[in-house]
Amino acid sequence: MGQNDQSRFNNQPSDLISARQAVQLLGVKPATLYTYVSRGLIRAVPSQHDSRQRRYFRADVERLCKRRDARAGHTAVAAGALRWGEPVIDTAISSFSEQGPVYRGVPLVELVRKEASFEAVAEWLWAGRAIDGGLGWPRVAVEPSIVEAVKAAGALGEPYAGVLLAAVSLAGLRDPGRFGAPEEAERARARALIRQMALWLALGNERGDIEQAAKAQTTAQAVALALGVGQAQEVTGAIERALIVCADHELNASTFAARVAASTGADLYASVAAGLAALSGPRHGAHSERVEALLDEVGSPERAALVVRRRLRRGEDIAGFGHRLYPKGDPRTAPLLEVARQVAGTSPALRTIDAVCAVMLDAGHAPPTLDVGLVAISRALDLGPSGATALFAIGRSAGWVAHIFEQRRSPELLRPRARFVGSPNPHA
């Protein structure tokens, strides 16, 4: 991609959809869609593949959908709120803008620039306070019974989200003091749990050294040793940045799942497990594994155009491109690509990623997302299959804990209502 700068993607079409998709979203006839275009309510551009056809800006279509729902009343608006719609929960933890996530009023880009530690960022998210140097989290001991149980379950080679889900659930059973503890005690429990999660990554691969990981001074070092890539400064620095970038992202699916569990009074382990369960899905944390599969199919920079165009011709999605919250490009991607290049330079793996991004850009598609950046770091460090998911899981656990603590301060149970659309008499 030449200079390989995320800024190349600025002002590109955010997300273009076909006429068929547009009329389905709007619930109108094609003639009505064309009327919206003629009135300037929806922008349209010629298709890259067929100049006789036109593509429509998804953002314009969705804006009209929101107006329609608002006219339809409260029920439609409430239903839309669960699909990237209006805010439904008050939070003091994080927000986002075109520049990216903002952690308790501090932009993520500022934390990256200051090279903050993951531990300090976690403490900031939890209680709005920092710790000196980020080295205040105690080391944790390896729990042999958990290790043996997870190994016996066949963890080796399984996606890391599943490995962590099993281990976290077992850890909860071993902690009789997990119910009703005051928040300060819970913060200590959260620090230990996240450090344990870093160690448990070693159970999913053959290279990791869980005993050495337990002796690590920081979470990033523990992750590096658990994934079997040593603890050279450039390695742990890249992992540290990935953990910070992933730490929180407002009310994403896994965070919402963790908050729902916390609202029921579930303990810390169960609430974190809820987040991990949601993270394991291919539409969320495991989306990076789809990016890895795409890059495996591409194989080399020279094949990028062939593979991408072949997939597009079959009507398949290209994983890792286009984030609905960031139509001008995911701001979290650039700092990850930057540190990946610092580690691996112009390695074949990174050149392949650059080539895929360039093909997508030239075809008018949306810019790369966080998943592409995480996969770039994973391949630069040779973390192995599902390495990007491992980074996401450990990083996002800090945000889950913050939201769990915040949700516990609310007396309300998170319990949305459903609108019944089935037949009132199934035997009629």
pLDDT tens by residue, 60-69? 898 888 777 7
The reply to whether 18 and 148 lie within a common domain is: no
pLDDT of the residue at 9:
29
pLDDT of the residue at 195:
97
pLDDT of the residue at 418:
82
Q: Are 330 and 268 in contact (CB under 8 A)?
A: no
Residue 102, helix vs strand vs coil: strand
Tell me: pLDDT of 71 over 60. Answer: yes
Percent of the chain with pLDDT over 90: 61
Instruction: Tell how far CA 56 is from the center of its chain.
Output: 27
The reply to whether 177 and 314 lie within a common domain is: no
The reply to whether 115 and 263 lie within a common domain is: yes
Residue 226 counted as domain residue? yes
Q: Where would I find the H helices in 264-299?
A: 268-279, 287-298
Quick one: pLDDT band at residue 12, thresholds 50, 70, 90? very low
Residue 367, helix vs strand vs coil: coil
Higher per-residue pLDDT: 268 or 76 = 268
If one counts every other C-beta atom within 10 angstroms of the C-beta of residue 184, the result is 9
Q: Are 164 and 389 in contact (CB under 8 A)?
A: no
Residue 421 counted as domain residue? no
Residue 311 counted as domain residue? yes
The reply to whether 139 and 244 lie within a common domain is: yes
Residue 418 counted as domain residue? no
Contacts of residue 425, defined as CB under 8 A and 6 or more positions apart, other chains included, come to none
**What is the identity of the amino acid at 310?**
R
- Owner of token pair 């200079």: 3
pLDDT tens by residue, 322-357? 888 888 889 999 999 999 999 998 899 999 999 999
Q: Are 360 and 37 in contact (CB under 8 A)?
A: no
Task: Please give the C-alpha separations between residue 228 and each of 74, 146, 224, in angstroms, as whole numbers.
Answer: 52, 20, 6
The reply to whether 335 and 361 lie within a common domain is: yes
Q: Are 187 and 130 in contact (CB under 8 A)?
A: no
| Distance in angstroms (rounded) separating the CA atoms of residues 272 and 276 | 6
The reply to whether 275 and 290 lie within a common domain is: no
pLDDT tens by residue, 358-401? 999 988 888 999 999 999 999 999 999 999 999 999 999 999 99
Q: How many structural domains does the chain have?
A: 3
Q: List the one residue out of 227, 88, 74, 231 whose CA is nearest residue 164.
A: 227
The reply to whether 272 and 314 lie within a common domain is: no
CATH of the domain at 367: 1.10.230.10
The residue-averaged pLDDT of 28-37 equals 88
**Per-residue exposure over 27-57, b if at least 16 CB sit within 10 Å of its own CB, e if not:** eeeeeebeebbeeeebbbeeeeeeeeebbbb
φ, ψ for residue 263, nearest 5 deg: -65, -20
Tell me: pLDDT of 202 over 60. Answer: yes
Largest CA distance in the chain: 69
The reply to whether 126 and 272 lie within a common domain is: yes
Give the domain range for residue 54. Answer: 14-81
| Distance in angstroms (rounded) separating the CA atoms of residues 78 and 74 | 6
Instruction: Tell how far CA 358 is from the center of its chain.
Output: 22
The reply to whether 127 and 142 lie within a common domain is: yes
The reply to whether 220 and 367 lie within a common domain is: no
The residue-averaged pLDDT of 19-34 equals 89
| Distance in angstroms (rounded) separating the CA atoms of residues 322 and 284 | 13
Q: Are 344 and 300 in contact (CB under 8 A)?
A: no
Q: List the one residue out of 390, 388, 347 whose CA is nearest residue 167.
A: 390
C-alpha triplet 222, 227, 231: angle, nearest 5°: 50
pTM above 0.85?
Answer: no
φ, ψ for residue 332, nearest 5 deg: -80, -15
Tell me: pLDDT of 405 over 80. Answer: yes
Higher per-residue pLDDT: 103 or 76 = 103
The reply to whether 50 and 194 lie within a common domain is: no
Residue 145 counted as domain residue? yes
The residue-averaged pLDDT of 174-193 equals 94
Residue 44 counted as domain residue? yes
Q: List the one residue out of 66, 28, 60 whose CA is nearest residue 42.
A: 60
pLDDT of the residue at 270:
98
Q: Are 55 and 16 in contact (CB under 8 A)?
A: yes
Residue 287, helix vs strand vs coil: helix
Q: Are 185 and 396 in contact (CB under 8 A)?
A: no
Higher per-residue pLDDT: 98 or 261 = 261
Residue 300 counted as domain residue? yes
pLDDT of the residue at 96:
84
- Owner of token pair 């955010």: 14
Quick one: pLDDT band at residue 426, thresholds 50, 70, 90? low
The reply to whether 370 and 345 lie within a common domain is: yes
| Distance in angstroms (rounded) separating the CA atoms of residues 103 and 121 | 8
CATH of the domain at 34: 1.10.1660.10
| Distance in angstroms (rounded) separating the CA atoms of residues 178 and 118 | 24
Percent of the chain with pLDDT over 70: 89
| Distance in angstroms (rounded) separating the CA atoms of residues 163 and 130 | 30
Quick one: pLDDT band at residue 274, thresholds 50, 70, 90? very high
Contacts of residue 66, defined as CB under 8 A and 6 or more positions apart, other chains included, come to 80, 85
Task: Please give the C-alpha separations between residue 155 and each of 167, 274, 378, in angstroms, as whole numbers.
Answer: 10, 19, 20
Mean pLDDT over each residue of the chain, to the nearest integer = 88
CATH of the domain at 151: 1.10.580.10
